[in-house]
Amino acid sequence: MMGIHNNVFCMKILRRISQRLYAGVVRMYAQTYAKPYARTDARESADHAAAKICTSHHVNWLGTLRVLAGSSTGRNLVMRLVLTLPTLLLLLVVPASCGRYDDFDDGEDLAEFDDNDFAEFEDMSEDRALEEEEEEEDSTPSPRPTASVGDEEDDEAVVELEDSHDDFEDAETPDEDIKYDTEEFEGFEKSNPSSKDPINILTVPAHLQNSWESYYMEILMVTGLLAYIMNYIIGKNKNHRLAQAWFNSHRELLESNFALVGDDGTSMEAVSTGKLNQENEHIYNLWCSGRVCCEGMLIQLKFLKRQDLLNVLARMMRPACDQVQIKVTLNDEDMDTFVFAVGNRKAMARLQKEMQDLSEFCSDKPKSGAKYGLPEFLAILSEMGEVSDGMMDSKMVHYLINHADKIESIHYSDQFSGPKLMQEEGQPLKLPETKKTLLFTFNVPGMGNTSPKDMDTLLPLMNMVIYSIDKVKKFRLNREVSREPLLANLTGCQFVSLTDWLVVSGHFSIAPGTVLLVQKILYFPISIDSRSSTNIKSTKSVLFWYFNTLGWDLQTCLLSIWSCR
Amino acid sequence: MSSNSMSDPRRQNKILRYKPPSSDSNPAMEDPTPDYMNLLGMIFSMCGLMLKLKWCAWIAVYCSFISFANSRSSEDTKQMMSSFMLSISAVVMSYLQNPQPMSPPW
């Protein structure tokens, strides 16, 4: 208790001394900086200025009063001298006295000697004892600056004031968890504890982020789809425009040649629709009928698949062109029996392998048409030389030379049955239906980049078609070279194999055997008809089979005769 | 030689009606693309739904679009619509189950 009272007394003395010291310093400060006052009452004005400075620095108001009271500098100097020695002593005492305040736990004792600000904390609970202690700690440094002001420089004083100011702020906002001085750790509060724990940065799931950028794949996909749709619309419209342009340029010619132009087969009466049938986005049909020399004509405009983006991209690798396919079906009396084709070399080679009739009746290799004056890249597949001579008249050659780039293939056939069908083993040979047909395949110029104007260039080719129809009607082969119409449908091989079967399953009786033998002998000149010498293959095969089975038949016949004898 | 330009080559009595070529006549000539794409689209959309793969569902959408673009007019629209709906439902279901964006395979 005595110690405490001693300390209280010391505090009071400390206060007074510090105030006086401070006042002296301030006056010195004022005198130094208040020089503009040149009058004899400069001291008074200096004191007044000092007082002002004192108030601006938020100095204790008691000190200010002292400044105002003490007007003579001499008195202040003496006071200063008197106060310096105790001040030094006090400087030594203050840290010791401050240390003792840390031991205080009792809030009541603190409240007795302190200012009335903290009197309200007299009846505090134990929870707030810590706060009081902190507040006391905060408040105790406040007399410290006033005591040490006399010795220390202005900077130090300012710093101290700032410290006290901050401490007061902290006192007003008590923070229970502060174990360190907040002013020292400004900004480091959060990082300090976290440096000890392992940092676990969690990634926010992409769909919860507020950015569209993470969905870039989806955006790409949707953009691709939109591009596809755009291309579909553009391609479809282009194809439609091309078809319309073709039809507009050919309409007049067709209507002058055919009674029925445009038919979809659904209407009750045979009335010209006068427009194309759209089978697809890239295929347009037109059926024309009602003319001499032919049954009808089917025109197919087979455009490129401009509506399909994949196809467009594939065409960039491999260029292709639009095609116009014309198929003229003829009546039986309109055409003689022959097979003939002329066109592009590549197309001819392909057709020769693919088409049933061409592979059967024509030679393997397409022949050059130089004999007739055709360009080198055009080739001829023909059944007989006479057919070629007959077909390649001057007007035809003229057409071919002028429009050679647009002609893919021209195929006349009386045995047309389409491409070769794959025949399975063991099944009976199915004879395909044949029809007298003229086939024309034209390439549209432009190689894909066609404009509607290019369709006009195909008009002469249509004239060629009409001309060909009439020509074929009039063309007649020599009687001796033509095929017999009776057995025209059956090939030599097919007939022979049929008889083979009969012979093998025969009953070795005379009648069938002799009949068959006689048929065979009669068939010989028919099967080996006077085809051109280029038709060696079929002749050979027929001969082979013929003699093979002839031997059998002969044997059978002889056996039957001898058995019945 | 050719028909007399004076006489009209047209013959009203010789008109033959258009008969669409039957598909049996040349099965090889027909374009198989729309059928293949339809099948692929269905397979991909099933994969996308079952295995919860987003890229499968997107490819299914593309396949159904390609099939539609290449289809013949004679084909009924029901099949086209069903493949569309299936692929779109595959995409929607994949995203409902897992709203995260699609990660590229590389």
Give me the count of residues in chain A.
565
- Give, for A167, the enclosing helix (H) or strand (E): helix A154-172
Shortest Cα–Cα distance, A432 to chain B (Å)? 10
Per residue in A276-295, pLDDT tens? 999 889 999 999 999 988 89
Residue A275 maps to a domain: yes
Residue A307: the pLDDT is 93
Comparing CB atoms, the residue among B3, B28, B100 nearest residue A207 is: B100
Residue A314 maps to a domain: yes
Per residue in B29-79, pLDDT tens? 678 888 999 999 999 999 999 999 999 999 999 999 999 999 987 777 888
Q: Is the pLDDT score of B104 beyond 70?
A: yes
Question: Which residues, numbered 308 to 367 in chain A, qualify as contacts with chain B under a Cβ-Cβ cut-off of 8 Å?
Answer: 308-310
Higher local confidence (pLDDT), B30 or A263: A263
Residue A439 maps to a domain: yes
Residue A286 maps to a domain: yes
Residue A482 maps to a domain: yes
Residue A252: the pLDDT is 92
Q: Which two tokens stand for residue A238?
A: 């282009």
Residue A135 maps to a domain: no
Which residue's structure tokens are 């200010």?
A64
Supply the DSSP string of A424-436, one letter for each residue.
PTTSPPPPPP-EE
Residue A96 maps to a domain: no
Mutation for testing the B interface, residue in A234, A255, A260 having most B CBs under 10 Å:
A260
CA angle A175, A180, A185 (to 5 degrees): 95
Structurally, chain A folds into a number of domains equal to 1
- Whole-angstrom distance, CA of residue A444 vs CA of residue A322: 5
Q: Spell out which residues of chain A touch residue B1, defining contact as CB-CB under 8 Å.
A: 470-471, 474
Q: What is the ipTM of this complex?
A: 0.90
Q: Which two tokens stand for residue A133?
A: 């202690």
Residue A112 maps to a domain: no
Size of interface A-B (CB pairs under 8 A): 104
- Whole-angstrom distance, CA of residue A518 vs CA of residue A531: 23
CB-based contact A144:A160 (threshold 8 Å): yes
Q: How confident is the model at residue A428 (pLDDT cuts 50, 70, 90)?
A: low
Select from A204, A290, A267, A278 the least CA-distant residue to A244: A278
pTM over 0.90: no
Shortest Cα–Cα distance, B29 to chain A (Å)? 9
CB-based contact A369:A379 (threshold 8 Å): yes
Least confident of A269-278, A461-470, A524-533: A524-533
Q: Is the pLDDT score of B101 beyond 70?
A: yes
For residue A344, the enclosing domain spans: 234-422+432-486
Half-sphere exposure (Cβ direction) of A64: Cα atoms closer than 13 Å: 13
- Whole-angstrom distance, CA of residue A137 vs CA of residue A546: 132
CB-based contact A304:A321 (threshold 8 Å): yes
